[in-house]
Amino acid sequence: MNHSTSVALAAASAVLLIIGTSGCADSKQQDTKEVAEELNALKFEDNGRENDAKFLVEAAELSREEISLGNLAQKRSKVRHVRNLGNEMVTEHTISLAALTVLATAKSVSLPTAQTDDSRDAFRKLSDIASSSFDKEYADMTVAEHTNAITVFEKAASESKDAEIKAYATAALPTMRRHLEHSLECQKMCEGK
């Protein structure tokens, strides 16, 4: 990165930081995913690198959400198999998020620093649901998230021009598929109740 690009990036980051932290106390803070995407758009003029950054942001969002919902499932679930799924999500997505953070740092990609608005909404929805419906709803959400994640990771594995990002996505796919299988088993168990 040349000096003028670095200066422009630093200035843009400062402006975004000021905008994000200024205003009324009751104003809604900008979603951390949006902040990360805006910072990445400023950093990467190359469309391929920007797409890689979008993938890493989406993967981080997925892991943070699965960790949050998995913790909730461990507390609220009445079904051992669903609690085990929650534990698996927390453990494996924590590991995945750590590896992803190292990769993103190496690639100078900004990631969301906290749960996104969508992630908080999913948590609220699951928190507010009746105990009798919790297990099925959690299984349904986990199936939907991992079905989407597999599509996103397959695209990154096949289309990324960056060897390390491609390797990360490729290596994560078997785990994502296993999570989907486990989620489908839980979903089937909950439908039989």
Contact in structure between 99 and 172 (CB atoms under 8 Å): no
CA pair distance 90, 53, nearest whole angstrom: 24
pLDDT at position 136: 95
Provide the pLDDT for residue 191. 85
* Amino acid 16: pLDDT: 42
CA distance 185 to 82: 9
Does domain 32-191 fall under CATH 3.10.20.30? My reply is no
Q: What confidence score (pLDDT) does residue 22 get?
A: 40
pLDDT of residue 29: 67
Beta-carbon-side half-sphere exposure of residue 183 (alpha carbons within 13 Å): 23
Spans of all domains in the chain: 32-191
Q: Which segments in the chain show pLDDT lower than 50? A: 1-27
pLDDT at 172: 96
**Does the pTM of the predicted model rise above 0.85?**
no
pLDDT the model gives residue 116:
84
